[in-house]
């Protein structure tokens, strides 16, 4: 599924944390990985400039580390310009099956919340996007190194939202636990709410049973309220290492297909995210 990966780095400490995440998501060392750095200034991207040489040395160190880990198909890419546009173009050129970026408040992902480049990618890309959260303490570092320890999968039972199951099936030998969550946002009456929650529990139990077949520990939560808030609340309560969810919802602008729930989770999550585009799943 992730046979070609675009790993974007600004050479920050946050970006350095992408490597253990890459190893978790792409355990097959036949994976092709392109390590990309985007220069804002075109002059800095000139091969003869001192800025380029400094960056090249550090990017090559990342590539060398990947090769030492057995990923022989690792290489470097340099571009200049707007980061969002360049990463999108590289992903298309490379036909990347996964884009990996780090979220933080400095470097080329600067903004108050998630990072404008990261959020632009999340909204616009038609490729799976992994966003790592900043490491603030030893607990965060442990979760980063054990990305597949406990995965949260929100679902509204649409085929699109269940595309996360493809990722779980692909990585089933490396996943320790999966937590499913469904949120009932609307109901006509108390009886209707109880009926919807019961139906959701039954359907989630079927997913849990499937995980058991794979030898994966699993559980579920059914909640009432605003979906994004409940998802984030459960993510913290369960101390999940990764949220895997589809970008469900129909956007009005071509290329900006991202549901409000996925958008709010992306903006506010303190957990690493793997966002799957609607194109990864069949239509409802």
> Can you give the pLDDT at residue 106?
37
What pLDDT score was predicted for residue 13? Answer: 84
pLDDT at site 49:
94
Q: How far apart are CA 142 and CA 226, in angstroms?
A: 30
- DSSP notation for 152-208: EEE--S-TTGGGHHHHHHHTTTT--EEEEEEEE---SSHHHHHHHHHHHHHHHHHHH
pLDDT of residue 112: 36
Confidence (pLDDT) at 123: 78
- For 7, 17, 90, 251, the CA distances from 36, given in Å and listed in that order, are 6, 15, 8, 29
**What is the per-residue pLDDT for 180?**
97
Note down pLDDT in tens along the chain; length 284 residues. 799 999 999 998 888 889 999 999 999 999 999 999 999 899 999 999 999 999 999 999 999 999 999 999 999 999 999 888 899 999 999 999 999 998 864 333 334 334 567 777 787 788 999 999 766 655 555 556 689 999 999 999 888 888 889 999 999 999 999 999 999 988 899 999 999 999 999 999 999 999 999 999 999 999 999 999 999 999 999 999 999 998 864 333 444 457 888 888 988 888 999 999 865 544 44
Half-sphere exposure of 202 (CA within 13 A, CB side): 6
All domains of the chain in start order, with CATH: 4-136 (3.40.50.620), 148-280 (3.40.50.620)
pLDDT given for residue 138 in this prediction = 54
């Amino acid at each position: 599924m992730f046979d070609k990966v675009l790993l974007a780095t600004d050479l920050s400490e946050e970006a350095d944390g992408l490597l253990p995440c890459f190893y978790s998501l792409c355990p097959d060392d036949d994976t092709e990985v392109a390590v990309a750095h985007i220069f804002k200034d075109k002059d800095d991207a000139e091969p003869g400039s001192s800025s380029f040489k400094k960056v090249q040395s550090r990017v090559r160190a990342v590539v060398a580390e990947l090769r030492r880990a057995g990923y022989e198909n690792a290489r470097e890419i340099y571009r200049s310009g707007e980061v969002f546009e360049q990463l999108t173009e590289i992903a298309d050129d490379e036909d990347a099956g996964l884009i990996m970026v780090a979220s933080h408040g400095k470097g080329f992902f600067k903004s108050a919340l998630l990072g404008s480049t990261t959020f632009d990618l999340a909204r616009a890309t038609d490729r799976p996007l992994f966003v790592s959260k900043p490491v603030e303490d030893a607990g965060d570092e442990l979760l980063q190194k054990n990305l597949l320890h406990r995965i949260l999968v929100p679902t509204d039972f649409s085929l699109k939202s269940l595309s996360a199951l493809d990722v779980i099936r692909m990585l089933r030998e490396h996943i320790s636990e999966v937590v499913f969550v469904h949120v009932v946002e609307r109901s006509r009456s108390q009886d209707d709410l109880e009926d919807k929650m019961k139906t959701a529990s039954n359907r989630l139990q079927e997913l849990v049973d499937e995980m058991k077949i794979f030898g994966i520990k699993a559980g579920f939560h059914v909640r009432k309220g605003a979906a994004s808030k409940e998802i984030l609340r459960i993510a913290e309560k369960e101390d999940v290492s990764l949220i895997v969810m589809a970008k469900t919802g129909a956007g009005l602008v071509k290329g900006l297909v991202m549901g409000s729930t996925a958008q709010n989770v992306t903006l506010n999550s303190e957990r690493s995210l793997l966002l799957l585009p609607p194109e990864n799943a069949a239509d409802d």
